[in-house]
Amino acid sequence: MADYTIWHNPKCSTSRFVLQALQEAGVDVEVRDYLAQPPSTSELRDALDRLAIAPRALLRRRNTPHDDLGLDDPALSDDALITAMAKHPALIERPVVFGPKDARLCRPKETVFDLLAG
């Protein structure tokens, strides 16, 4: 089992930077193309717990169905947002890196170095 896991989008320059930083640090990393292998609602809840953020903080707006789905509505519950992310993984901001001690949404991309410093 890898020490680190990255929810990765190979088309994203930030995600590629973070993956390269992990590889150059010599850590054992599992790469998960989260668009091809979307996380379940349970995995998203676990990720949000590890990240210590609310679902809205993990929502991506640009180039996603965010606006079409009306996800700006403040009345939407966390469960509704998590369900939307599981159904439409493009809504998940990237990259997310899970390390042995904690996890980070690596935006800005240099956040990966804080994670590696542990």
Q: Which of 12, 27, 31, 51 is catalytic?
A: 12
Q: Is there a catalytic annotation at residue 106?
A: no
Residue holding tokens 């901001």? 93
The full DSSP string for 78-113 is HHHHHHHHHH-GGGB-S-EEE-SS-EEE-SSTTHHH
* Single-letter amino acid code for the residue at 38: P
DSSP helix/strand/coil, 30: strand
Strand order across the beta sheet in which 103-105 lies: 29-33, 4-8, 96-98, 103-105
**Calpha distance 37→31 (Å, rounded):** 11
Catalytic residues: 12
